[in-house]
Amino acid sequence: MEVSERFLQIALDGIQDCINIVDKDFKIIFMNQVASQRTGKKRQLLLGNKCYAELWKESSPCESCVTSKVFETGKPQQTIKWETGLNGGKFCIEKCAFPIVDKEGRVEYAVEIFRDITERRLLEEEREQQRLELGRRIRELRHAYEELKSLQNQLLQAEKITSIGLLASSLAHELDTPLATISGYCELLLEDIQDERLLNRIKIISEQIVKCQKTIRNLLDFSRKSSCEKKLCNINDLINNTLLLVEHRLKIHKINIHRAFDDHIPPLLVDGNQIQQVFLNLVNNAVDALPQGGNIFIETKINTETKSVEVCFEDNGVGISSEDQKRIFTPFFTTKEPGKGTGLGLTICNNIISAHNGKIALESRVGNGTRFVVSLPV
């Protein structure tokens, strides 16, 4: 037995963790060399004393004492916490305890193992800080990349607009006069010719001339940076005036307009003609989406969170696919059949609203209609 105790003492003295064995009264009955060195006392002077008094300078076991829980539950316990050392310094310690039971299975002793994991914990915290810092920098890089990408797209767009502007100006000068001349002659022919077949053909020619002139105007509107002539306008009145312009078209296509206007919206400082151009384009697009007739819902309201006025145009038409929605404001992109649209209408709308420091958003699902929301700052 003496050899066994000596062997156990030598073996445990070689371990760099603090190891104690205590009884139910928390009296130390065994202690390895590292544990005794921690107290600064000789091992023989510590045996028989309370472990919490010698090791932690406490008058009783603390609430998180793993040894107490071993005696209470009969199961191994573990905890990690920061402690204050005898010299006042902070250190992180991992505390483990497990039971030694008698023949009846009752806990007779508890083995305590205390391991200083300060360096490991500091290293883990440092790595966590590095991980968080790396994550922050990655987010910053992503944000910078997105901004760079956006600027690059804006530059490409600006170059495209400049090129279109030069082309549009050239086309306007080259085509405007001949088209006006042809249009004038068509009007004269319509007055003089009595033949019904010829009249119909001349009407077709006249309609196509109007389309050409409209395309040229769209190109010019898109390429020019026209100055805004802002004044206080009533948004509800602008919508009503717009609807008067398309009243005949709405009747022909059997379109019902449903208004839900907020009468408490204050006047907005906008270019009325430009904003009316946006509304007209959105209403016309809604009509195009309802070839068999249907309903258009127009709502105005104040968004107190964004401090803006929202104008919603919603139809119950064919809707727009998610792929097309990504490109809907791209110049020359259109979902209409060839020859029925220039693909500049929504681009011009977006430019006008942006010039007013506003936003235009789209919500749509195929078969469930489309909703455009124009937001203008109050």
Structural contact between residues 351 and 282, judged by C-beta atoms closer than 8 angstroms:
no
Give the gyration radius of the chain's Cα atoms: 42
User: CA-to-CA distance for 301 and 357, rounded, in angstroms?
Assistant: 18
CB neighbour list of residue 16: distance below 8 Å, 6 or more residues apart: 34
226 vs 138, more confident:
138
Give the containing element (helix H, strand E) for 300. Answer: strand 294-303
- Final residue in a domain of this structure, among 169, 191, 224: 224
38 by DSSP, 3-state: which? helix
Residue 137 CB neighbours (<10 A)? 10
170 by DSSP, 3-state: which? helix
The CATH number linked to 173 is 1.10.287
- In the structure, what pLDDT confidence band is assigned to residue 1 with cuts at 50, 70 and 90? very low
Which tokens go with 199?
């009249």
Report the Cα 318 to chain-centroid distance in Å.
Answer: 28
Identify the pLDDT of residue 79.
87
Give how many domains the chain has, as a whole number: 3
Same domain, 130 and 243: no
- pTM of whole model > 0.85? no
Q: What is the pLDDT of the chain when averaged over all its residues?
A: 82
- Final residue in a domain of this structure, among 192, 224, 256: 224
Structural contact between residues 297 and 317, judged by C-beta atoms closer than 8 angstroms:
no
User: CA-to-CA distance for 209 and 183, rounded, in angstroms?
Assistant: 7
The CATH number linked to 90 is 3.30.450.20
Burial class (CB in 10 A: 0-12, 13-18, 19+), 54: buried
pLDDT, tens digit, 9 for 90 and up, residues 112-141: 998 888 888 888 888 999 999 988 988 988
Q: Which amino acid is at 31?
A: M
Same domain, 243 and 278: yes
Structural contact between residues 231 and 272, judged by C-beta atoms closer than 8 angstroms:
yes
104 vs 150, more confident:
104
User: pLDDT at residue 21 above 50?
Assistant: yes
User: pLDDT at residue 223 above 70?
Assistant: no
Same domain, 297 and 363: yes
Structural contact between residues 32 and 114, judged by C-beta atoms closer than 8 angstroms:
no
131 by DSSP, 3-state: which? helix
Same domain, 216 and 232: no
User: pLDDT at residue 305 above 60?
Assistant: yes
pLDDT, tens digit, 9 for 90 and up, residues 243-260: 988 888 888 889 999 999
- For the chain, the 3-state helix, strand and coil shares in percent, each to the nearest 5, are 50, 25, 25
Same domain, 181 and 234: no
pLDDT, tens digit, 9 for 90 and up, residues 103-113: 888 899 999 99
Identify the pLDDT of residue 91.
80
- Final residue in a domain of this structure, among 92, 116, 140: 116
User: CA-to-CA distance for 376 and 378, rounded, in angstroms?
Assistant: 6
Same domain, 37 and 17: yes
The CATH number linked to 296 is 3.30.565.10
Same domain, 312 and 284: yes
Same domain, 49 and 65: yes
Q: How far apart are the first and last CA of the chain?
A: 92
230 vs 181, more confident:
230
- In the structure, what pLDDT confidence band is assigned to residue 269 with cuts at 50, 70 and 90? very high
Supply the range of the domain harboring residue 278. 228-377
Q: What is the DSSP letter of 276?
A: H
User: pLDDT at residue 320 above 80?
Assistant: yes
